[in-house]
Structure 1
Amino acid sequence: MRSVRAVSLGDNTVYLLELDGTRVLIDPGPDFEGARDLLTESLRGTSPDVVIATHGHLDHAGLGAWWQEQGLPVALHPLDWPFATGEAPSEAEFAALKQLALASGAPPDVAASAAAAIESRRAWSVAARTAQRHPPAGRDRRWPTGLLYRPFLPRLALDDVDVGGLELLHLPGHTPGNAVVWVPSEGWLFSGDQLLPGITPTPALQGHHGHGPASDWRFRSFPAFLGALRSLQALQPTRCFPGHGEPFGDVVAVIEANLEQAEQRLNRAVGALRDAAGSSLYELAERLYPRAVRRRFWQILATVQGLIDVLEFRGLVAYEDGRWRLTQAASTSFS
Structure 2
Amino acid sequence: MSGPDWFQVAETGPGAFVIGEPGHVNSYLLLGDERALLYDTGMGIADIGEQVRRLTGLPLLVVNSHHHFDHRGANASLAAHAEDIAVHADGAALHTDPAPHEWLEAYVHLAHGLRKRYEEFHALDAGGFFLTDSRVEVRPVPDLADWRIEAVRPTRLLHEGDVLGLGGRSLEVLHTPGHSPDGICLWEPETGLLLAGDTLISGTFFAHVPGADVAAFADSTRRLADLPVTTALLGHNLRHKESADFVGRVAEAFAAVRDGRTLPYASTDMFGAPVSRHDFDGFAVLTAPHGTDH
State if a TM-score over 0.5 links the two structures.
Answer: yes
Check the 8 A contact 2:28/2:39 in 1, yes or no: yes
- Paired residue for 2:56? 46
- Paired residue for 1:171? 176
Shift in Å, 1:42: 5.6
- Paired residue for 2:157? 157
Structure 2 distance, partners of 1:19, 1:151, is 28
Alignment of 1:1-335 (within 5 A): 3-10=15-22, 11-32=24-45, 35-36=46-47, 39-41=49-51, 43-44=53-54, 46-47=56-57, 48-86=59-97, 124-125=102-103, 137-141=111-115, 144-145=141-142, 148-159=148-159, 162-163=164-165, 165-197=170-202, 199-206=203-210, 219=211, 221-244=213-236, 245-251=238-244, 253-265=245-257, 269=260, 288-289=264-265, 292=267, 296-300=272-276, 303-304=287-288
Structure 1 distance, partners of 2:15, 2:262, is 48
Check the 8 A contact 2:66/2:180 in 1, yes or no: yes
Shift in Å, 1:62: 0.9
Shift in Å, 1:41: 3.9
Partner SS state of residue 196, structure 2: strand
- Paired residue for 2:3? none
Flag structure 2 segments of 5+ consecutive residues without an equivalent. 1-13, 116-137, 278-285
Q: Which has the higher strand share?
A: 2
CA displacement 1:106-133 (0-9 Å, x = unmatched): xxxxxxxxxxxxxxxx7513879xxxxx
Residue identity matched to 1:30: M
Moved more, 52-61 or 155-164: 155-164
Shift in Å, 1:203: 0.6
Q: Which has the higher helix share?
A: 1
- Which contiguous aligned blocks of 4+ residues in structure 1 show a shift greater than 6 angstroms? 306-309
How many residues get paired? 238
Partner SS state of residue 113, structure 2: coil
Shift in Å, 1:151: 0.8
Check the 8 A contact 1:14/1:27 in 2, yes or no: yes
Q: % of aligned pairs identical?
A: 24
Q: Structure 1 residues 135 and 186, CA, compared in 2 at 3 Å: closer, same or farther?
A: same
Check the 8 A contact 1:17/1:24 in 2, yes or no: yes
TM-score, structure 1 as length reference: 0.60
CA displacement 1:237-260 (0-9 Å, x = unmatched): 110111223443432x11222233
